[in-house]
């Protein structure tokens, strides 16, 4: 069964290139939309498996679109595909229910693998941004210290977050802790929701 994707990005050249890439990998691009308002209308009309969403758009920001998608559908995977490696953007996207946060300069084949991982229930973050989660875990950020979100994590979630910060995959974490991949995925989702 083909993966069905809706792309929402205001840059025409990027959208068209991304669409060609996905089609070449036998991923069905239902729609390629240039703004958030039309993107939301398209999501309500068509059943997609994944939404690829730009963060910075002129009419409505990607975060606002993400919040609106979550009001329509709590479980539809939304992957932020952006040029921003700003930690505040990453954390805000994950807090608002993004299933992934990837950078536009990533390798094309890695994007296709990441989309398949998202459909398996994994939360995907660009490898060079994983250290941000570690920074928050260690309490280096003033905002996190103020709200003391780390204290909301269970001991197992703390353990998994430390292994994520080291760059370990869900499978490797599962092997190291003697638990299933599915259990690790549930813990990761819980960590991201809490943080």
Report pLDDT digits (tens) over 106-149: 888 889 999 998 998 888 888 777 777 666 555 554 454 434 56
Q: How confident is the prediction for the chain on average, in pLDDT?
A: 86
Mean pLDDT of 70-84: 93
- What tokens were used for 181? 């991949």
Closest CA to 117 of 94, 97, 100: 100
Cα–Cα dist 29/4, whole Å:
6
The answer, yes or no, to whether residue 164 has pLDDT greater than 80, is yes
Secondary structure letter of residue 83 according to DSSP = S
What are the pLDDT digits (tens) for 169-185?
888 999 988 888 888 88
User: Between 24 and 144, where is the model more confident?
Assistant: 24
pTM of the model: 0.70
């Amino acid at each position: 069964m083909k993966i069905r994707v809706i792309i929402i990005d205001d840059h025409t050249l990027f959208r068209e290139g991304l669409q060609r890439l996905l089609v070449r990998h036998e991923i069905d691009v239902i729609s390629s939309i240039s703004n958030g308002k039309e993107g939301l209308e398209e999501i309500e009309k068509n059943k997609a498996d994944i939404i690829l969403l730009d963060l910075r758009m002129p009419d409505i920001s990607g975060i606002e679109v993400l919040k609106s998608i979550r009001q329509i559908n709590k479980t539809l995977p939304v992957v932020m595909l952006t040029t921003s490696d700003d930690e505040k953007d990453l954390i805000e996207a994950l807090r608002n229910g993004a299933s992934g946060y990837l950078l536009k300069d990533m390798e094309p084949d890695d994007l296709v693998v990441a989309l398949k991982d998202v459909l398996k229930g994994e939360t995907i973050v660009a490898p060079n941004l994983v250290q941000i989660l570690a920074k928050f875990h260690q309490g280096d950020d003033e905002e996190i210290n103020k709200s003391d979100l780390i204290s909301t994590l269970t001991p197992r979630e703390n353990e998994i977050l430390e292994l994520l910060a080291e760059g370990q995959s869900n499978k490797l974490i599962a092997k190291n802790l003697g638990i299933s991949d599915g259990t690790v995925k549930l813990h990761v989702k819980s960590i991201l929701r809490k943080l």
